[in-house]
């Protein structure tokens, strides 16, 4: 009898144990299910004026998790035709379309094309003022395209910080081949350019600003050897030097970290402060033909600096006229002379 009771008791214990062991994980005491990565680390909504964005944010747009960016276009910007761009053909962000920088620049001075011409480009790529435009590329052609979009009037323009490498390093997939843009089904929404004040196109525009505004500073975004007049920096530009009155704002490489991402804004400001430049100045950034200079412009724009412009013609156009005054001095001499 005792053995029978003992057997019944053991069976009861085993059944109870099996019930507990088979309970769903969420019902176990003090062991709640771990939240998914998207729940624990949601990608934040960004202001329209925020330019440089992470690969994670772009992925969240593609996944439909950014309601304000449902209408978006991803552009890989590079010089040349799409069927000749080997890197794009081999790997690009899903949905990204190739944009040849020749489409946004006229062939004489390499300045931004007319408003009507840029309007056609915007339409060909399905872009209106309300489209979220996301740009990346292997060089400052990406920031050049981003700048042109803002100049035209696109209200929400982003540049992927770190470009395609950042996308790949985040573990996201890429596509091969050519993806064709979809044309716009509506008007752009504003007259292009919506912001002509962003650009000083030609040397005479720069000279006029210098003469009327004591706080105006022309800021060179070129290498030290270019600024010193040791080299023109371009095979197709014979003359070396800088426009007289320019101060040095450092070269493109100084605005990038080793991994290709862009430096923090306070580091950029520190470089400008070396030349006595602050937000109280009216700053016109320039380089050779208007690519490198768009990097600091976008940084300043993103951080709320108001008095910023791009001298589009750059050294290329300045040196064409022998009557335009030229200097070849050190950054220290420039800072002392033009404070």
The CA distances from residue 160 to 2, 9, 55, 136, 293, in Å, are: 77, 67, 6, 5, 17
Mark residue 256 as left, alpha or beta (left: phi above 0; alpha: psi -120 to 50; beta: remaining). Answer: beta
Is the separation of the CB atoms in 117 and 318 below 8 Å? Answer: no
SS3 label, residue 149 = helix
11 as an active site residue: the answer is: no
Token output for 172: 């996201």
Helix, strand, coil share of the chain (percent; to 5): 40, 15, 45
Is the separation of the CB atoms in 129 and 190 below 8 Å? Answer: yes
Catalytic residue, from 11, 22, 149, 287: name it: 287
Q: In the chain, what is the straight-line distance between the N-terminal and C-terminal CA atoms, in Å?
A: 106
Q: What is the number of helices (H) and of strands (E) in the chain?
A: 13, 12
- 132: Cβ–Cβ under 8 A, 6 or more apart, which residues? 61, 66, 68, 69, 71, 72, 73, 156, 157, 158
- 326: Cβ–Cβ under 8 A, 6 or more apart, which residues? 239, 241, 242, 243, 244, 318, 319
According to DSSP, the residues that pair with 219 across neighbouring strands are 247, 285
| Half-sphere CA count of 3, side-chain side, radius 13 A | 0
Is the separation of the CB atoms in 22 and 38 below 8 Å? Answer: no
- 270: Cβ–Cβ under 8 A, 6 or more apart, which residues? none
Active site residues: 287
């Amino acid at each position: 009898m005792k053995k029978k009771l003992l057997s019944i008791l053991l069976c009861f214990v085993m059944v109870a144990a099996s019930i507990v062991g088979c309970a769903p994980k969420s019902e176990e005491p003090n062991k709640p299910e771990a939240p998914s990565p998207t729940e624990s680390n949601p990608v934040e909504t960004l202001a329209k004026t925020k330019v440089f964005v992470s690969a994670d944010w772009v992925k969240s747009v593609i996944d439909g998790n950014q309601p304000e960016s449902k209408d978006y276009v991803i552009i890989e910007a590079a010089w040349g035709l799409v069927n000749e761009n080997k890197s794009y053909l081999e790997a690009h962000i899903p949905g990204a379309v190739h944009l040849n920088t020749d489409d946004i620049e006229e062939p004489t001075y390499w300045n931004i094309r007319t408003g009507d011409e840029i309007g056609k480009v915007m339409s060909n790529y399905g872009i209106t003022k309300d489209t979220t435009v996301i740009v990346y590329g292997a060089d400052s052609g990406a920031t050049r395209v981003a700048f042109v979009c803002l100049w035209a009037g696109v209200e929400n323009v982003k540049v992927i910080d770190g470009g395609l490498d950042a996308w790949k390093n985040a573990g996201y997939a890429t596509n091969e081949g050519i993806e064709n843009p979809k044309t716009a089904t509506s008007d752009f929404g504003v007259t292009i350019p919506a912001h002509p004040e962003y650009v000083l196109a030609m040397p005479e525009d720069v000279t006029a600003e210098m003469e009327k505004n004591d706080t105006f500073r022309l800021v060179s975004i070129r290498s030290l050897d270019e600024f010193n007049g040791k080299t023109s920096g371009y095979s197709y530009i014979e003359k070396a030097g800088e426009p007289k009155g320019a101060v040095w704002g450092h070269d493109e490489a100084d605005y990038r970290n080793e991994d290709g991402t862009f430096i923090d804004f306070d580091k950029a400001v520190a470089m400008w402060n070396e030349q006595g430049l602050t937000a109280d100045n009216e700053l016109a950034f320039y380089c050779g033909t208007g690519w490198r200079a768009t990097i600091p412009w976008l940084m300043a724009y993103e951080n709320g600096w108001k008095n910023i412009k791009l001298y589009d013609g750059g050294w290329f156009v300045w040196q064409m006229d022998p009557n335009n005054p030229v200097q070849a001095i050190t950054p220290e001499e420039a800072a002392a002379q033009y404070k």
